[in-house]
Amino acid sequence: MGKPDTRARIQGAAAMLFRRHGYSATGLKRIATEADAPFGSIYHFYPGGKQQLAEHMIRTSGTEYGRMVLALLDSVP
């Protein structure tokens, strides 16, 4: 199986780095490096830069956490 597409790698790296280091301490270069993605690809997917990427992560992570909680609750009697 190949590695996830560039956008998914950027999102995964951003989520992890924002959790570990916070928004202010996480730079786009670090996200690109962690994602093994060209720096310009961040602006390709998120023309608004770091702020737009962070907003996307907040919007989508709530849904993902909700799914995880429901899956956990469904796994027990």
Would 59 be classed as within a structural domain?
A: yes
Contacts with 38 (C-beta within 8 Å, 6 or more apart), sequence order: 6, 32
* Spatial separation of the C-alpha atoms in residues 67 and 60, rounded to whole Å: 11
Torsion, CA 41, CA 42, CA 47, CA 52, rounded to 10:
160
Mean pLDDT over each residue of the chain, to the nearest integer: 89
pLDDT digits (tens, 9 = 90+) for 40-58: 999 999 999 999 999 998 8
Domain residues for 48?
Answer: 6-74
- For residue 72, pLDDT over 90 is answered with no
pTM: 0.77
Which ranges of the chain does DSSP label H, i.e. alpha helix? 6-21, 28-35, 39-45, 49-74
CATH number at residue 30: 1.10.357.10
Would 17 be classed as within a structural domain?
A: yes
Residue 73 has a CB neighbour count (10 Å cut-off) of: 8
Would 1 be classed as within a structural domain?
A: no
